[in-house]
Chains A and B, each alone.
Chain A
Amino acid sequence: MSIFKSKNQKNRSRKNNKLNKGYLKKSFRAYLYLLPAALVLIVFRFIPVGYSFYISLHKWKVKKVAYIGFKNYIKALSDPLFWNSLKITVFYVVGTVPITIIISLIIAYLLFQKIKGRSIYRMIFFLPYITSTVASAAVWLWIFNPGHGLVNQLLELLRISPLKWMNEPRGILKIMFGNMGIAIPKWAEGPSLALVAVMIFVIWHYIGYDTTIFLAALGNIPSELYEAARIDGANRWQLFRHITLPMLSPATFFLVTVALIGSFQAFNHIYVMTSASGAALGGPLKTTTTTTIYIFDRFYGSIKTGYASAMAFILFWIILGFTILQNYFGEKRVFYE
């Protein structure tokens, strides 16, 4: 909306002042106001994007070694570890984004009912989100500790045998079916239990944020809609299904977009939970090596700067592709007033 308005303003003033010295002077003064922010953005946002592409076309260690064209990209596409990292990233995204949004929607919906102590509930749900992922991941790492952790202690109370969590490279489906004595093929093993532990942490961490957004969106639904539907005899489920859900779709769409972009870039908590678990960064057996972790490892661990840049670029295109796809398919389902 505001973009269109300023466009009109601009066109108008352009017509009136096309060769006006005063307009140029005015523009110059405005540029001075923009200068500090623009400088930072140019040096640390715009230039790096081009520079990153330039680096990706080179064999580059600490310094530039040689121009090699698109060889880094070809190398990435034939690198099984890179493909493995993409698979793990997909597990991570699919395993966290929908669950977080569904749980948050339920919590927000319940909180929105006539609830005593709503603000206290909201405060508690929001607490994980404000704490740093480094500190809270360190806490969760110990909660999942096989020997002294809280989760295994709770499992034992429920007479379930303790699990190795962050040290468990086996897929979760393999473990589940294995307990029932059923062997399953390798491709169907699912994410490793270590990755599942990371995902549980992520869901815990982001629920408060999604809930807050949903709560705000629920507050924006006109109550007349509910009243009208109730007069027509709609029951609670029908109200939720045909009014609340469609009216929330812009918020849901926004949260999915943010979550998708965010989880493709997830790093901090995976780094902390794996590097300190005794299983090495991205471990065990690389089953938590998402693409971001793999890029970091190639860049910071093995100083393969050119190769890491090429993979970062591929990841960027994947994120962009997902965002465009989601926009294309999501846009049709979103209900705008």
Chain B
Amino acid sequence: MNNKMKIKSNGITKTKSKFSASRFFIYLILTVGAFISILPFIWMILTSFKNYHEVIARKWIPSSIRFSNYVIAWNMAPFPRYFANTFLVATATVIGVLITSILAGYAFARMDFFGKNAIFILFLSTMMIPFQIILIPNFIIIKKLGLYNTYLAMIIPWIGSVFSIFLFKQFFTTIPEDYFDAATLDGCSHFRFLLHIALPLSKPILITVALLNFIWSWNSFLWPLIITSEEKMRPIQVGLSYFTIEAGTNAHQLMAAATLTIFPIVLLYFFVQKQFIEGVKTAGLKG
């Protein structure tokens, strides 16, 4: 993919490389754009090291690298608990999504059954439902199920991910029919074929689905905001939104808390950047 892109872009600009002025402007625009993109993060981290006086005086660079704001923020609100909640909910959501969407994706890709096309379209149609419309009834349903203010309430509604089903279906369809024929000749059932042959082949898509769902869960806000009532149940985004109000004028402490919230996802992003961008592209181009 990358190589192909390189060759093509070479084709476009081959004759242009001598005009250094235009190249200069390209770099200038891109660098200014990149700077604007990253400036809020730089400012956030710089501010997280400042003291109150430096915040008020609008100093750009803190006089020393102090971690006291992190310690204060960490102790001001139950951040360890927030992180543990979020991690638990996100991990469980990912596991749930993987189970439901691998099974359903496999059925749509490799099994023949009555009403297959109609059911698939019905599944796809749920992607069109806007969130506000199901927010209120889901809230009432969760309450009726007795799950209000529980972890399950933050997990269960999100383990049916049509987008993930779609990705798995697409991938399982590409596995050559011969593999399956050979396996069934040896008396292999659908389930064993899925477990021992299809899944090991689908590692990249597994990572993509897991990653995207983990980040969606980590960053989710509105649903956990209304479905939790106690502080100890809050995930990090909800906790941070309350802290934004509580911190008042203590921007330095808020920036420390924001840095802590963003850090795990950015770290994850650096490690699996390629799968991540591929995932977003697949989501974009096929979804």
A36 to B17, CA, bound (A): 56
Chain B CB within 8 A of A221 CB: yes
Q: Is A226 a contact partner of B11 (Cβ separation < 8 A)?
A: yes
Query: Which stretch of A48-56, A186-194, A326-334 is in the interface?
Result: A48-56
Q: Which residue of B lies closest to A125 (CB)?
A: B37
A155 at the A/B interface (Cβ < 8 Å)? no
Say yes or no: A37-B103 contact (C-beta < 8 A), given A9-B112, A134-B221, A139-B258: yes
Some 18 contacts from A to B, beta carbons below 8 A apart, are: A26-B112, A30-B116, A33-B111, A36-B159, A38-B119, A39-B160, A41-B123, A114-B13, A115-B30, A127-B38, A130-B266, A132-B219, A132-B261, A133-B219, A148-B56, A153-B58, A213-B280, A267-B221
Known: A48-B138, A223-B7. A292 touches B132 (CB 8 A): yes
B120 in complex: contacting residue of A6, A13, A308, CB < 8 Å: A6
Q: Which of A40, A47, A55, A264 contacts B100 (CB 8 A)?
A: A40
Q: Are A121 and B135 in contact (CB under 8 A)?
A: no
Q: Name the interface residues of B85-126: CB closer than 8 Å to any CB of A.
A: 99-101, 103-104, 106-108, 111-117, 119-121, 123, 126
CA distance A225 to B244 in the complex (A): 52
- Given A48-B141, A316-B132, 10 new contacts (CB under 8 A): A3-B117, A23-B114, A36-B100, A107-B30, A124-B37, A125-B37, A138-B244, A150-B43, A276-B241, A308-B136
| CB proximity of B112 to chain A, nearest CB, Å | 5
CB within 8 Å for A34 and B103 given contacts A44-B134, A49-B134, A52-B133: yes
CB pair A268–B104 under 8 Å, yes or no, is no
Per-position contact with B for A39-69: 1 when CB-CB < 8 Å, else 0? 1110111111101100100000000000000
B41 proximal to A (CB < 8 A): yes
Taking CB atoms, residues of chain B closer than 8 Å to A107 are 29-30, 33
Which residues of the partner chain A approach B16 to less than 8 Å between Cβ atoms? 113, 236
A335 contacts partner chain B, Cβ-Cβ < 8 Å: no
CB within 8 Å of A: which residues of B?
Answer: 1, 4-5, 7-13, 16-17, 23, 26-27, 29-30, 33-34, 36-41, 43-44, 47, 55-56, 58, 99-101, 103-104, 106-108, 111-117, 119-121, 123, 126, 128-138, 140-141, 156-157, 159-160, 162, 165, 170, 173, 190, 215, 218-219, 221-222, 226, 237, 240-241, 244-245, 249, 251, 254-255, 258, 261-262, 265-266, 269, 273, 276-277, 280-281, 284-285
Residue of A at shortest CB range from B131?
A265
**Cross-chain contact A121 with B11 (CB below 8 angstroms):** no
Assembly CA distance A43 to B156 (angstroms): 10
Instruction: Give the contacting residue for B47; candidates A125, A142, A295, A315; CB below 8 A.
Output: A142
**What is the bound-complex CA distance between A112 and B16, given in angstroms?**
13
Bound-complex Cα distance A107 to B58 (A) = 31
Q: Tell me whether B160 and A219 are in contact (CB under 8 A).
A: no
- The reply to whether the CB of A300 lies closer than 8 angstroms to some CB of chain B is yes
A residues less than 8 Å from B165 (CB atoms): 37
Contact partner of A114 (CB less than 8 A), chosen from B9, B47, B117, is B9
Give the segment of A79-87, A163-171, A175-183, A201-209 that binds chain B. Answer: A201-209
In the assembled complex, the CB of B32 is this many whole angstroms from the nearest CB of chain A, namely 11
Type the 1/0 row for A107-128, where 1 means its CB is closer than 8 Å to any CB of B: 1001111110000011111111
CB distance from B182 to the nearest CB of A (A): 20
Query: Are the C-beta atoms of A132 and B265 separated by less than 8 Å?
Result: yes
Are A312 and B1 interface neighbours, CB within 8 A?
no
CB-CB contacts below 8 Å: A272-311 with B: 272, 275-276, 292, 295-296, 299-300, 305, 308-309
- Any B CB within 8 A of the CB of A31: yes
State whether B240 touches A125 (Cβ < 8 A).
no
Please tell me if A2 contacts chain B, counting CB pairs below 8 Å. Answer: yes
In the A-B complex, the 9 residue pairs with the smallest Cβ-Cβ separation, listed nearest first, are A40-B160, A30-B113, A48-B137, A33-B107, A27-B113, A132-B219, A51-B137, A48-B134, A37-B100
For residue B133, give the distance in angstroms from its CB to the closest CB of chain A.
5
* Given A125-B34, A134-B241, CB of A264 within 8 Å of CB of B222: no
* Closest partner residue, chain A, to B116 (CB atom): A10
Specify which chain B residues have a CB less than 8 angstroms from the CB of A34 in the assembled complex: 103-104, 107-108, 119
A198 near B: Cβ within 8 Å? no
Q: Is A7 an interface residue (CB 8 A)?
A: yes
Q: In the complex, what's the smallest C-beta–C-beta distance from B125 to chain A, in angstroms? A: 9
What is the bound-complex CA distance between A284 and B117, given in angstroms? 50
Contacting pair B58 A148 (CB below 8 A): yes
CB proximity of B26 to chain A, nearest CB, Å:
5
Q: Are A212 and B284 in contact (CB under 8 A)?
A: yes
Q: Is the CB of A138 within 8 A of B113?
A: no
